[in-house]
């Protein structure tokens, strides 16, 4: 079911029937802003309304009264004009008649909204009869109120306030609605109905005097000429003082001393809560004009704890005491430094000065005398170096200030680090002299200059280490060179190494190059290992022997460099012909190897080598071959260092040989055998393999015939000689050697008991 509602009091079913007979228009009537009372055809409304009127019907609209108060608390609305939706209606009369028409969709009465501001000056009731006096006046937006009153202002208007107390009263602050203000001139923004009230309180009269009279006082920091009376609120607090110094009418200076109530300069005075008039007197003492000077002028003094005075001309009270101090070690505007010498009154640099009575008439002049310091500037080339001056580091350039005649000692370091690989070496003082010297300060200024030269280090490395020697020209004892020096560097590979290239600050495959020492330099010679056999590198495995050459079938040592990648021992029997990729050939034949190492290879020579010069080749897989020549002789005996007891234990100083004992010595290169033992294999225990040539054992001066001399069982290429010691030999040791076919061996030391 359709719900019917009323429009302007007319049910919709009536409107519907009516609209079937004639044209109806809808017109909205309101006020802007809302809230004003208006009438439509004699009926009052307070809010916007929509009316359905027949086209051409007449209707009366009015705003009554034109100025409306009381409808809303504290608000006033004043009619301005009527406007409508066509924009053609601008009626300024409160009452108008309009004719309903489809073009008029709305009609609005424009009004001005204002808020009431109550001004409360007095607290007594306002009637036709004045019941109380006004304590003051309030000026609100230029209007003066000495009684309570009212004004209206538009929303958000800012109103100005001023409070003027009447005699006998003081202003105590504004009460502004829910807020407050202590300023007698203030302002407030009106956002709704409100009240403003200046608060006035009874005042107390306080009279200010001076002794002597007619001087000024400071009341709340404002200068006032006495006598003067102030009205102050009871219980209020005020700062009172006096300008000091000040001159009286005769031009005599006076200095504030105290207040008669006991306070001093800028003391706090609280007004009591009585209406009894009070008098406050500021007392002064005669002043003396004091002029403090410095010689030379323009230096600073510390007066009464301050040194930032604009002027050192003072007026001080007679009998008062002041702290005056001459500041030592000052610098003037030109940078000249001064030290204190003395005051003109003979006092100390810091003294307590009491103003004498006679100073009131003539004043006082005091002068602080200063002496200029001489300057000594210590510089260096290059600058920024730490030079000890009188035992304290001075980073150049630094300026020292001393009295004339003072002594300064400067010790220039012989060398100063200046970074990794760089240092500065002392050359000289500009005026000559030793690095550590003293000067006597004379005159105004002097400059001392220490000259240093920059030195850079040349670091020369070899990889692998020890593979080459580095030759440099010119030679430096510590590898440091003056900046700009041209240094020639050359790598001289040692046996077993081959130069490949330079790395670092030199590059290229040439063994020598030139470096310009513009900074620290580092070079590295890169070398390759290559097999090398020394010129006399094929020798008896027992060591150095008197014979020139080696014997066929004996053990030999091949000495050199880079002969093998590392030390490695081969199998004991049979001996291997290749160890760690290393082989040795003699006349194209591979030799049995005992062990290989970078510096030495031990091998066995073939027993059928003919005497004479032979060629030996060492080959390390992946490396170039190294060759050497050696000589094969019939006999080249060599003894290993240790002899053995019959039980196999070595003869040592702790276990020496004994008279009559049978000993064994071992060696190699004794010559051919009567029957050739196996080549490259350990000799079996039987049969025996005696030597072909006669052997003698020489123990000191004794010549002994061996019991046996031949291949050592269980060994490869080794000879054993067994002999009996005589019953008497000089101890504690004897020199022992063998002689084979007239060829002597090396000598070993034999401890005997």
In the chain, the domains with their CATH numbers are: 6-113 (no CATH), 117-202 (no CATH), 204-285 (2.60.40), 288-372 (2.60.40), 375-525 (no CATH), 532-633 (2.60.40.10), 638-751 (2.60.40.10)
Residues 419-435: tens digit of each pLDDT: 999 999 999 999 888 89
Report d(CA 407, CA 387) in Å as an integer: 16
Kindly state the average pLDDT of the residues 217-230: 95
Among the listed residues 565, 490, 569, 577, the one whose alpha carbon sits nearest the alpha carbon of residue 530? 565
Kindly state the average pLDDT of the residues 140-169: 93
pLDDT band, residue 168 (cuts 50/70/90):
confident
- Whether 8 shows a pLDDT value over 50: the answer reads no
Report d(CA 436, CA 390) in Å as an integer: 11
| Secondary structure of 547-573 in HEC code, one letter for each residue | CCCEECCCEEEEEEECCCCCCEECCCC
Q: Which residue has the higher pLDDT, 129 or 460?
A: 460
pLDDT band, residue 14 (cuts 50/70/90):
very low
| Strand ranges, E, within 22-105 | 24-32, 38-40, 43-45, 49-54, 58-62, 67-69, 75-84, 90-91, 95-99
pLDDT band, residue 458 (cuts 50/70/90):
very high
Kindly state the average pLDDT of the residues 690-695: 96
**DSSP-assigned letter for residue 621:** T
Report d(CA 485, CA 310) in Å as an integer: 62
Tell me the residue length of the chain.
Answer: 753
- pLDDT value at position 559? 96
Report d(CA 238, CA 219) in Å as an integer: 7
* b/e burial code for range 710-731 (CB count within 10 A of at least 16 → b): bbbeebbbbbbbbbebeeebee
Weakest-pLDDT range from 20-34, 623-637, 649-663: 20-34
To the nearest whole percent, how much of the chain has pLDDT over 90? 80
Helix (H) or strand (E) holding 359: helix 359-362
- pLDDT value at position 125? 65
- Whether 660 shows a pLDDT value over 70: the answer reads yes
- Whether 683 shows a pLDDT value over 50: the answer reads yes
- Whether 140 shows a pLDDT value over 70: the answer reads yes
DSSP codes joined into one string, 449-472:
EEEEEEEEEEEEEEESTTSEEEEE
pLDDT band, residue 11 (cuts 50/70/90):
low
Report d(CA 155, CA 112) in Å as an integer: 10
SS3 617: strand
Phi-psi region of 466 (alpha: psi -120 to 50; beta: other; left: phi over 0): left
Evaluated on CA atoms 740, 742, 743, 745, the torsion sign reads positive
DSSP β-bridge partners for residue 59 = 98
Kindly state the average pLDDT of the residues 313-341: 90
Question: Under a CB-based contact definition with an 8 Å cutoff, are residues 725 and 657 in contact?
Answer: yes
| 545 Cβ contact list (under 8 Å, min separation 6) | 539, 636, 637, 638, 669, 745, 746
- pLDDT value at position 376? 87
Report d(CA 726, CA 17) in Å as an integer: 170
Kindly state the average pLDDT of the residues 675-686: 94
- pLDDT value at position 126? 55
- Whether 303 shows a pLDDT value over 60: the answer reads yes
Q: CB atoms < 10 A from the CB of 570, how many?
A: 20
- pLDDT value at position 21? 53
Among the listed residues 476, 413, 414, 402, the one whose alpha carbon sits nearest the alpha carbon of residue 444? 402
**Residue at token pair 């005996």:** 637
Report d(CA 208, CA 218) in Å as an integer: 10
Kindly state the average pLDDT of the residues 239-244: 95
- Whether 7 shows a pLDDT value over 50: the answer reads no
Report d(CA 319, CA 147) in Å as an integer: 58
- pLDDT value at position 130? 52
Residue 16's φ and ψ, nearest 5 degrees, are: -65, -45
At 727, list the tokens: 């019953």
Report d(CA 221, CA 268) in Å as an integer: 11
pLDDT band, residue 19 (cuts 50/70/90):
very low
- Whether 565 shows a pLDDT value over 80: the answer reads yes
SS3 196: strand
Q: Which residue has the higher pLDDT, 491 or 14?
A: 491
pLDDT band, residue 15 (cuts 50/70/90):
very low
- pLDDT value at position 167? 86
Phi-psi region of 317 (alpha: psi -120 to 50; beta: other; left: phi over 0): beta
Helix (H) or strand (E) holding 20: helix 12-21
Report d(CA 600, CA 556) in Å as an integer: 10
Among the listed residues 429, 365, 374, the one whose alpha carbon sits nearest the alpha carbon of residue 407? 374
pLDDT band, residue 1 (cuts 50/70/90):
very low
pTM of the complete model: 0.47
Kindly state the average pLDDT of the residues 341-361: 94
At 175, list the tokens: 């009460």
DSSP β-bridge partners for residue 509 = none
Work out the mean pLDDT of the chain and round it to a whole number. Answer: 92
- Whether 520 shows a pLDDT value over 70: the answer reads yes
pLDDT band, residue 285 (cuts 50/70/90):
very high
Kindly state the average pLDDT of the residues 128-139: 77
Report d(CA 728, CA 646) in Å as an integer: 19
At 165, list the tokens: 């107390």
Report d(CA 75, CA 113) in Å as an integer: 7
**DSSP-assigned letter for residue 117:** E
Using alpha carbons, list the distances in angstroms from residue 231 to 192, 218, 236, 263, 374: 36, 15, 11, 20, 66
Q: How far is CA 701 from the centre of its chain?
A: 84
């Amino acid at each position: 079911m359709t719900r019917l509602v009323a429009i302007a009091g007319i049910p919709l079913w009536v409107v519907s029937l009516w609209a079937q007979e004639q044209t109806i228009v809808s017109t909205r009537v309101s006020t802007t802003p809302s809230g004003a009372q208006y009438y439509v055809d004699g009926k009052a409304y307070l809010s916007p309304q929509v009316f359905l009127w027949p086209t051409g019907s007449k209707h009366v609209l009015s705003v009554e009264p034109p100025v409306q108060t009381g409808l809303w608390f504290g608000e006033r609305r004043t009619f301005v004009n009527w406007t409508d939706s066509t924009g053609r209606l601008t009626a300024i009369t409160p009452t108008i008649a309009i004719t309903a028409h489809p073009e008029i969709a709305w009609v609005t009465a424009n009004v001005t909204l204002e808020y009431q501001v109550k001004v409360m000056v007095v607290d007594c009731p306002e009637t036709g009869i004045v019941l109380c006096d006004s304590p003051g006046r309030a000026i609100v937006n230029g209007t003066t109120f000495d009684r309570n009153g009212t004004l209206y202002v538009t929303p958000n208007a800012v109103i100005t306030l001023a409070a003027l107390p009447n005699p006998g009263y003081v202003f105590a602050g504004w009460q502004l609605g829910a807020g407050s203000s202590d300023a007698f001139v203030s302002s407030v923004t009106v956002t709704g109905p409100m009240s403003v009230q200046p608060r006035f309180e009874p005042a107390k009269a306080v009279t200010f005097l001076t002794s002597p009279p007619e001087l000024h006082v400071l009341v709340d920091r404002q200068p006032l000429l006495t006598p003067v009376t102030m009205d102050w609120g009871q219980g209020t607090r005020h700062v009172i003082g006096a300008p000091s110094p000040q001159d009286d009418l005769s031009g005599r200076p006076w200095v504030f001393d105290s207040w008669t109530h006991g306070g001093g300069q800028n003391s706090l005075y609280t007004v009591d809560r009585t209406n009894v008039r009070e008098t406050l007197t500021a007392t002064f003492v005669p002043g003396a004009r004091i002029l403090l000077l410095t010689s030379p002028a323009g230096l600073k003094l510390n007066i009464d704890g301050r040194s930032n005075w604009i002027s050192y001309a003072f007026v001080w009270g007679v009998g008062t005491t002041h702290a005056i101090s001459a500041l030592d070690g000052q610098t003037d505007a030109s940078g000249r430094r001064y030290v204190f010498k003395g005051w003109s009154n003979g006092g100390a640099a810091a003294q307590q000065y009491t103003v004498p009575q006679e100073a009131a008439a003539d004043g006082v002049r005091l002068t602080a005398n200063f002496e200029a310091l001489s300057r000594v500037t210590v510089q260096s080339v290059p600058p920024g170096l730490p030079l000890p001056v009188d035992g304290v580091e001075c980073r150049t350039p630094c300026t020292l200030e001393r009295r004339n005649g003072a002594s300064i000692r400067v010790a220039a370091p012989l060398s100063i680090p200046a970074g990794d690989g760089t240092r500065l070496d002392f050359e000289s003082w500009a005026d000559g002299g030793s690095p550590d010297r003293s000067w006597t300060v004379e005159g105004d200024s002097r400059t001392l200059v220490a000259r240093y030269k920059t030195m850079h280090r040349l670091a020369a490395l070899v990889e692998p280490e020890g593979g080459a020697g580095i030759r440099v020209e010119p030679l430096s004892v510590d590898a440091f060179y003056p900046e700009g020096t041209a240094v020639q560097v050359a790598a001289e590979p040692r046996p077993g190494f081959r130069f490949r290239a330079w790395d670092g600050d030199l590059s290229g495959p040439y063994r020598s190059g030139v470096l310009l020492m513009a900074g620290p330099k580092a070079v590295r010679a890169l070398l390759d290992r290559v097999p090398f056999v020394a010129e006399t590198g094929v020798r008896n495995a027992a060591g150095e022997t008197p014979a020139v050459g080696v014997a066929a079938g004996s053990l030999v040592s091949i000495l050199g460099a880079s002969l093998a990648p590392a030390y490695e021992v081969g199998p004991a029997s049979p001996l291997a012909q290749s160890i760690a990729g290393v082989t040795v050939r003699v006349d194209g034949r591979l030799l049995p190897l005992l062990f290989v190492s970078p510096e030495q290879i031990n091998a066995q020579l073939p027993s059928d080598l003919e005497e004479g010069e032979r060629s030996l080749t060492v080959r390390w897989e992946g490396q170039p071959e190294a060759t050497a020549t050696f000589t094969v002789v019939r006999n080249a005996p060599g003894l290993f260092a240790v002899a053995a007891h019959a039980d196999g234990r070595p003869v040592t100083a702790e276990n020496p040989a004994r008279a009559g004992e049978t000993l064994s010595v071992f060696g190699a290169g004794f010559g051919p055998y009567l029957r050739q033992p196996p080549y490259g294999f350990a000799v079996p225990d039987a049969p025996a393999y005696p030597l072909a040539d006669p052997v003698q054992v020489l123990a000191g001066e004794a010549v002994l015939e061996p019991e046996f001399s031949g291949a050592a069982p269980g060994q490869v290429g080794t000879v054993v000689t067994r002999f009996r010691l005589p019953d008497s030999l000089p101890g504690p040791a004897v020199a022992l050697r063998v002689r084979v076919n007239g060829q002597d061996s090396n000598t070993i030391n034999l401890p005997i008991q």
